[in-house]
Structures are given as C-alpha cells and as structure tokens.
Structure 1
Amino acid sequence: MNSSGIHAEQKMDRHIRLSSEPQSARFANSIAPHLAAGDCLLLSGEVGAGKSFFARHVIRARLAQLGRVEDIPSPTFTLVQTYELESCDIWHADLYRLTGPDEVYELGLEAAFETDICLVEWPDRLAELTPSTAITLAFDTLEGDARAVRICWNDPRWDGILLPIVKEYPIHE
C-alpha cells in the first residue's frame, strides 16, 4: 500500500470532485445499495477529510432501506460500531488509534471482511490484512466543503457499478 492508502495492484482508478456535503452524501447513497457481505471500503485521508461523513451516509442509506433511522456515532473511541442488516452486518471501524495489524485481529475485523460489509477508516493500519478486493476511497480536502476523492478497485464486479456512478461527478485532476 502506498502513502495514500492505494494498493499498487488496483486496476481501476478514478478521480472525482465532490463540491458540497449534499453532493458527498449523494455519492455515498449511490454506492450503499450495491454493498453486500464481503465488501470492504477503505477510507483514507487526513483528519477532517470526509471519511466519517461518507461512512455515516452509507450506513444511513442501508438502514433506511430497512425503514430504520439510527444515530451513527463515530467509532473513534470504540474502534468499531456495528449495524445489523437482514443478510449481514455493517462494520464501521476507525483504526486511527491502532499501532499495527496485531490489534486488528483483536477486533475481529479479519473475520468480518469475509461475512459483513466493512467501512474502514485509516486502513494503513491493516497492512497485510487488507482485503485484496477492497475498494479504496482516498479523500482530500479542497476549499470549503469540497473534496477530491480517488476511487480505486480491482474487482471487475465493481466496473459496471462504480463507473456509471463516478461519471455523474466532475473529474478532479
């Protein structure tokens, strides 16, 4: 994994610009219904870049499909928050305070990668435990609420899903 949290072997690479929080929420909402057990989103970027905001909107969108509205707290201090869906759970993990992959084992995250939907902030802490089919979203703060997002994936299943979604947003160069 390089310094931006991107795996060198990820074949698809797109850069978009999200100009506002509502646009960022719409982007999260458009990805959310496509996530299934075993899917993992790796959310990288500096503090305040929009990782938690994005994760909250993904979770809210999935819970709304079930007619549920829940408070979505940050997992900064608990490290992991889980949300029950019909077919699996969503794990929202914030690994900022971890020092290495040994602590990931203690959280049970490795098993969740197989059976649940995982949204992982600070994925550089995973090291060799990073799922090979994960989608990486690297957030960068621009002016105001605008964000640049680099989206990378290598699982061809996502080509037909993500390519039409990212075409709806301006390219960020």
Structure 2
Amino acid sequence: MNDYIIKTTTEDMTKQLGERMALLLRQGNVITLSGDLGAGKTTLTKGIGKGIGVKRTINSPTFTIVKEYMGNLPLYHMDAYRLENSDEDIGFEEYFYSDGVTVVEWPSFIEEFLPAERLDIVMKRSGENEREIHLYPQGSDHEFICKELYR
C-alpha cells in the first residue's frame, strides 16, 4: 500500500486540495478522514463539497451522524464519532454503494462496515495552520486519485 503525503500551510490550501480531489471523484467513492480534533477533516470536506458543486454550507454532522448535500454528485458526510462502542448499522452500505461520494470522519468507529475499496486519509497538525495529509488508497481507482493529486 502506497502512502502519499501532501502538506498544506493554510486552511485555504486544505480546502483547495479537497476541490482538486473532488474533480477526480466518481459515484461510489468513499473517503475516510482520521485525525485529532482540529486536524482539518471538515475543512477538507468543505473543499470536496465545493469541488462537486455543493452550494450549501458544509459543517460537521456531529449531532446527526449523516448530512446529505446535493451538487453534481450527492455528498454524504458522516461523523462516526458518536457511534463509538455501538454495533448499530444505520444503513452504511446504502451510502457507500450509492450514486454519490461518501466522506466518513472518525472511521475507526465503524471499521467493520467500511468497504474494502476506499481512500483513507490521516490528517496531522504540524503547526498552527500546517497540516500533513497522508493518503492511503485502497484499490486502483483510489490509487489513481492519489497519483493525480500528487503531481
């Protein structure tokens, strides 16, 4: 498994990375976002949303678990944090194998439900605004996305 590392130094750069990523995404793509609070998971998701044409404000779905946004593709934004120690299946497959793109924050809490093919992203703070973004593609479709972003 290849590890691609992209560094951003501002919040705007993190959003722009999401926008670039969005141009490469297709229906059924699943992206997982891991990292501490404040690592930039929702910021990257905002960029993805903008890149696929979402007009609404994107914010963390902490209290609703899943937020749905319409753009050129549907964007399903999940926050699995509240599902810690829960084995409840809220119909994840309906999102993962759908006509949209699914972004999952805190994926470790629903690991057993995640599809094998996905793009795992681990975000680390390396300064006040600096981020180290590790991309771990699972499957050739996601490998292609990483290679394009890494150019």
TM-score by length of 1: 0.80
81, 86, 106: which one aligns with 1:96: 81
Match of 2:95 in 1: 112
Query: Residue 81 of structure 1 corresponds to which residue in structure 2?
Result: 67
User: What is the aligned residue count?
Assistant: 150
Aligned to 1:23: 13
Q: Is the contact made by 2:121 and 2:135 (CA closer than 8 Å) also made in structure 1? A: yes
1:102 partner amino acid: D
Question: Separation in 1 of the partners of 2:24 and 2:80?
Answer: 24
1:134 aligns with 2:118: yes
**TM-score of the aligned structures, taking structure 2 as reference length:** 0.90
Unaligned 5+ runs, structure 2: none
1:39 to 17, 29, 34: 29
Identical-pair percentage? 26
Aligned counterpart, 1:60: 50
The separation in 2 between residues aligned to 1:33 and 1:75, in whole angstroms, is: 23
Partner of 1:70: 56
Contact in 1 for aligned 2:42/2:59 (Cα 8 Å): no
Q: Which amino acid aligns with 1:14?
A: Y
Moved over 6 A (4+): none
SS of the aligned residue for 2:142 comes to: helix
The aligned amino acid for 1:114 is: Y
Question: Structure 1 32/79 Cα, relative in aligned 2: closer, same or farther at 3 Å?
Answer: same
Query: What is the root-mean-square deviation in Å for CA atoms of aligned residues?
Result: 1.6
Distance 2:71 2:50 in 1: 11
Instruction: Give the CA deviation at 1:12.
Output: 2.1
SS of the aligned residue for 1:127 comes to: helix
Aligned to 2:148: 164
Give the deviation of 1:34 after TM superposition: 1.6
Contact 1:100 1:127 in 2 (8 A): no
Q: 8 Å contact 1:101–1:129 — kept in the other structure?
A: no
Cα deviation, 1:6-53, whole Å, max 9, x if unaligned, reads: xxxxx2211221111121111111000221221000000011100011
